[in-house]
Chain A
Amino acid sequence: MIISLDKAWDIAQKYWPSFMLGVRYTLFLAITGTLAGLLIGLIVAGIRALKVEQRDSFLVKVLKRIFAFVSTVYIEVFRGTPMMVQAMFIYYSFRSTLHWTPIVAGVFIISINTGAYMAEIVRAGIQAVDIGQTEGARSLGMSSFQTMWHVVLPQAIKNSFPAMGNEFIVNIKDSSVLNVISVTDLFFQSSSVAGSIFKVQETFLVTAAIYLFLTYTTSRILGYIEKKMQPKQTGRAGA
């Protein structure tokens, strides 16, 4: 393996605008995909966690069951197939009707893909919240929705913050598969650069360095936020 670091440095300098354009798309996809995915995950997991109760009306029971079934199918399908395949299938299925651009389709695909993972992450977070929190809220007359919204979900989000941050990092990397539908992300730009100068190795060394910088910086920032979220233990520990 012969690789010239000087060459790589030259390429980085010369094609910096191309790489940065790619970084912008990559970060845009990762951020919007993670946030929209989080929203989807919260809604799906939140509603899934509202169990069918004996006292629910018939309609509510039916709705809860239908939602549980649909959401299970959604989660299994999107976690069980590669995002690259989802991208191809969804983008080309709707291109003629929606006339969407690759980036719009890309945001949509990464969002619903992330949503499926987030739903499972939030579910685990909800399960980690002590049942006593729910009983406390219900005993005060709060409805199951109010209990979920004001008491359980905020704690579930806190519990699962590390896993959610991890999804963000995964998205920085995995958004690269969206190049199959011509989203001009960092990977796509790198391929163009490499193709135009026939220097694949050196170009992708630069690409790797940029991805690593993005993920490492992100993980440090997330680690800092995580630390900030810990409550300050000032008083005595509870009995």
Chain B
Amino acid sequence: MEQPIIHISGLKKSFGDLSVLENIEFNVYKGDVVCLIGSSGSGKSTLLRCVNLLEVPDGGIIEVDGQNILEGSINVNRYRARVGMVFQSFNLFNNMTVLKNCMIAQMKVLHRSREEAEAKALHYLELVGMLEFKNASSLTLSGGQKQRVAIARALCMDPEVLLFDEPTSALDPEMVGEVLEVMKRLAKEGLTMIVVTHEMGFAKDVATHVVFMDKGVIAEEGSAEDIFQNPKEERTRAFLSRYLNQ
């Protein structure tokens, strides 16, 4: 049996008295595109943020390549460099150009030379179609452009897994397409991704595995076909019908 890249079990997280994640259990295999769907407040984003330790879980295990990252001994910064993250609000560094955004962590975290970092940055900026903007300040870009740069920035670190936290939710509708296009391309190239999304079309087309979350627990999971064609749970059906009838 193939070993999962990420194995999560018994994961718990609460903010004060409010329990946001309870007993979460799932696996991500190499090349998987896992889509986390569910209504707002169901815990999807918190789960994603736990995977790269922006939130510290209260209990459970997250094993990456067989190593539990919640144990004290691991180097969090080293670990984060292996797991990329793309945010809803882009979070490009406002004090740097597009190119510098893609280079800084390569040089400071992976200790790559300037030349190597630049070559890599140019390669991925081209992949996301943002090469011509390499010298622009990130403040001058549109939302869709920012998000494509943010994806390139994450890819520059050669992550084993890339996490997307509602990458298109803050975008104007006409810019959603360009970002989803890039993500589809990455999926096709075999990049392992976990995507929190409200784009059901994307989940249907691209996901190898869909996880439906409701009130902090995994209510149902399966292939895209299972979830979208034959949902077993009543609440999955209710959620999907609300979305698909829009």
B141 and A136 form a contact (CB under 8 A)? no
A141 and B87 form a contact (CB under 8 A)? no
- How many chain B residues touch A (Cβ–Cβ < 8 Å)? 44
- How many chain A residues touch B (Cβ–Cβ < 8 Å)? 29
Contacting residue for A234 out of B76, B94, B104, B140, CB 8 A: B140
Contacting residue for B157 out of A141, A231, A239, CB 8 A: A141
Closest Cβ of chain A to B231, distance in Å, is 32
Q: Does A155 contact B (CB under 8 A)?
A: yes
B144 and A239 form a contact (CB under 8 A)? yes
Interface residue ranges of B138-152 to A (CB < 8 Å): 139-146, 150
A142 and B109 form a contact (CB under 8 A)? yes
Contact indicator per residue, chain A 137-169, by CB within 8 Å of chain B (1) or not (0):
111111100100011001100100000000000
Contacting residue for B93 out of A137, A235, A237, A239, CB 8 A: A137
Closest Cβ of chain B to A126, distance in Å, is 13
Q: Does A238 contact B (CB under 8 A)?
A: yes
Q: Does more than half of chain A's interface fall in helix, strand or loop, or is it mixed?
A: loop
Chain A binder among B25-33, B78-86, B115-123: B78-86
Contacting residue for B76 out of A55, A151, A238, CB 8 A: A55
On chain A, the residues within 8 Å of B242 by CB distance are none
A141 and B105 form a contact (CB under 8 A)? yes
Contact indicator per residue, chain B 138-175, by CB within 8 Å of chain A (1) or not (0):
01111111100010011001000000000000111001
Contact indicator per residue, chain A 119-145, by CB within 8 Å of chain B (1) or not (0):
000000000001011011111111100
B94 and A55 form a contact (CB under 8 A)? no
A138 and B93 form a contact (CB under 8 A)? no
B109 and A235 form a contact (CB under 8 A)? no
B141 and A139 form a contact (CB under 8 A)? no
On chain A, the residues within 8 Å of B93 by CB distance are 133, 136-137, 150-151
On chain A, the residues within 8 Å of B87 by CB distance are 132, 135-136, 139
Report Cα–Cα, A231/B95, bound state, in Å. 10
B143 and A239 form a contact (CB under 8 A)? yes
On chain A, the residues within 8 Å of B81 by CB distance are 140-141
On chain B, the residues within 8 Å of A133 by CB distance are 91, 93-94
Cβ-closest 10 pairs across A and B: A239-B143, A141-B81, A136-B91, A140-B105, A139-B85, A235-B140, A132-B91, A141-B109, A141-B80, A154-B95
